[in-house]
Amino acid sequence: MTRFLFRRLAILLPTLVFVSIIIFGLQQLLPGDPAIAMAGEERDPVAIAQIREKYHLNDPLYRRYLLWIGGVLRGDLGESIRIQQPVGQLLVEKLPVTVELALLSMLIALGIGLPTGMISALYNGRWPDYVANVIGLWGLSTPNFWLGIMLILLFSVQLGWLPASGYISPLEDLWGNLEAMIMPAFVLGNAISAVLMRHTRSAMLQVLSSDYIRTARAKGLRERMVIGKHALRNAAIPVITLGALEFGQLLSGAVLTEQIFSIPGFGKLIVDAVFNRDYAVVQGVVLCTATAYIVLNLLADIAYFLVNPRLRA
């Protein structure tokens, strides 16, 4: 296990360096000039020149990358051109919102996707299987923006049970925070649960047809033990992989959902930054998201060892 972790870390570090180069290089392809955008409508040449000097926009591309990556290694992600705040401070403010939304969404997705996938596999070809497949088809085919608008119309406009938009910190009002986050979390979790359901069903069907499952049943083991100890643990590997990828996608920011519900997370932050040519913010958000993906994949690999004893051997 220790040797495996060292090998993975040895791969992760060059991967992060390569990702940082890609992020910085692709960022420069965005149309427009941030100095002109920041100078305002007057576009005073003196002001533009000062902005270029302050943010090193006149330096060669390789020098700007070295300045940026050197700051990242020191914990300095640069300064937002638009709002004149450190990028690290912006990420610290927005990250808890996005993490909370991602966690609630994954809880909803796991609570719906795993049980329906298992039931669909255990009752393959019977009416519970058909019901579970209808639920999966609903989640896959329902657009997030449409579902979000319909939930607002029903629970906020018609019934008045939940706020239509906005965000309240759980430190200020925990119940108000849950009321504000439950609809966007359900919108995101609904789509992910459908994907989890299909993968869980497929993995369970494959495992249930294996020889060791038939042997376990022939020994007289209880069906609950056969499913929980033998079938589910072996079927969990593809589900763990999918869950890590989906959670990373949620951390990258659900742009449409955050826009519909006015949630100040990563999605809204990066959209505003792209429109305003705020290079430092875009680079900081994408680098943070890429790092989260890499760390989640490492955690998924560790989970493989904990779930499947054959991998430990």
Please report, for the domain that includes residue 148, its CATH number. 1.10.3720.10
Which phi and psi angles does 91 have, rounded to 5°?
A: -65, -40
Per-residue pLDDT at 313: 57
Element (H, E) at 45: helix 45-54
pLDDT > 90: what percent of the chain?
Answer: 0
Confidence of residue 276 (pLDDT cuts 50, 70, 90): confident
pLDDT value, residue 157: 86
- Average pLDDT of span 98-110: 88
Q: Which residues constitute the domain of residue 161?
A: 94-265+292-312
pLDDT at 186 over 60: yes
Q: Mean pLDDT over residues 44-48, rounded?
A: 72
What residues have CB less than 8 Å from 67, skipping those under 6 apart?
A: 56, 59
Q: Sorting pLDDT into bands at 50, 70 and 90, what band is 22?
A: confident
Within-domain flag for 20: no
pLDDT for the residue numbered 99: 86
Closest CA to 114 of 130, 99, 94, 135: 135
First to last CA, the chain: 10
Which pLDDT tens digit goes with each residue over 228-244?
777 777 777 778 878 88
Q: Would residue 141 count as lying in a domain? A: yes
The reply to whether 254 falls in a domain is: yes
**38 part of a folded domain:** no
- Which pLDDT value is given to residue 93? 83
Confirm whether 22 is domain-assigned: no
Nearest partner of 65 among 33, 108, 17, 105, judged by Cα? 17
Q: What does the pLDDT look like over 139-176, one tens digit per residue?
A: 878 888 888 888 888 888 888 888 887 788 888 888 88
Is residue 18 included in any domain, yes or no? no
Distance CA 35, CA 187 (A): 38
Instruction: Tell me the mean pLDDT in the region 255-264.
Output: 80
Residues in the chain: 313
User: What pLDDT, on a 0 to 100 scale, did the predictor assign at position 227?
Assistant: 78
Q: In 3D, which of 188, 161, 170 has the Cα closest to residue 261?
A: 188
**One-letter-per-residue 3-state SS of 205-268:** HHHHCCHHHHHHHHCCCCHHHHHHHHHHHHHHHHHHHHHHHHHHHHHCCCHHHHHHCCCCCHHH
40, part of any domain? no
Would residue 260 count as lying in a domain? yes
Query: What is the reported pLDDT for 37?
Result: 63
pLDDT of 31: 63
Q: Which 3 state secondary structure label does DSSP give 302?
A: helix
Residue 65 Cα to chain centre, angstroms = 26
- For 107-132, write each residue's pLDDT tens digit: 998 888 888 888 888 888 788 888 88
* Number of domains present in the structure of the chain: 1
